[in-house]
Amino acid sequence: MTGELLRVDIEDAGAVRIARVIGEVDISNAGTLQERLMEAGSPEAAAVVVDLTKTEYLDSAGIRTLFTVLDLLRDRGTALHLVVSESAVIRRVIALTALDEACPTWPNTAEAVEAAMNPT
């Protein structure tokens, strides 16, 4: 990621899109994150899984963006799931802001995709 603060890789897993967020999310690139996640949440997608396991930094602009995307996708009928490992540095800010209460959060991508494919 030379010179690149943020990269968002999108992968199809059937009706579920996986967005891998790599690097740092702050006010300088939160808009790019929102654009990429909304792109992943196209009308054909039943759910978007946001893999934050390689996200090293997430400030308030990033948290606000995730809440915004959650609301926008919900309005479309598309579910949002987060992947945050137990040891992730960003886990604390996600808990403090109650993002993990607003959005299903999983310790790994496989569990998140399974839950997204089989909603209860």
In DSSP notation, 25-89 reads: E-TTTHHHHHHHHHHHT-TT-SEEEEEEEEEEEE-HHHHHHHHHHHHHHHHHT-EEEEE--TT-T
Q: Please state the domain extents for the chain.
A: 6-108
Give pLDDT, residue 22: 97
Average pLDDT (17-33) is: 97
Q: What is the pLDDT of residues 69-117, one digit of tens each?
A: 999 999 999 999 999 999 998 999 999 999 999 999 999 999 999 999 9
pLDDT-based confidence at residue 119 (cuts at 50, 70, 90): confident
Where does the pLDDT of residue 3 fall: very low under 50, low under 70, confident under 90, or very high at 90 and above? low
Closest CA to 41 of 100, 116, 109: 116
Class of domain 6-108: alpha beta
Partners of 47 in beta bridges: 16, 79
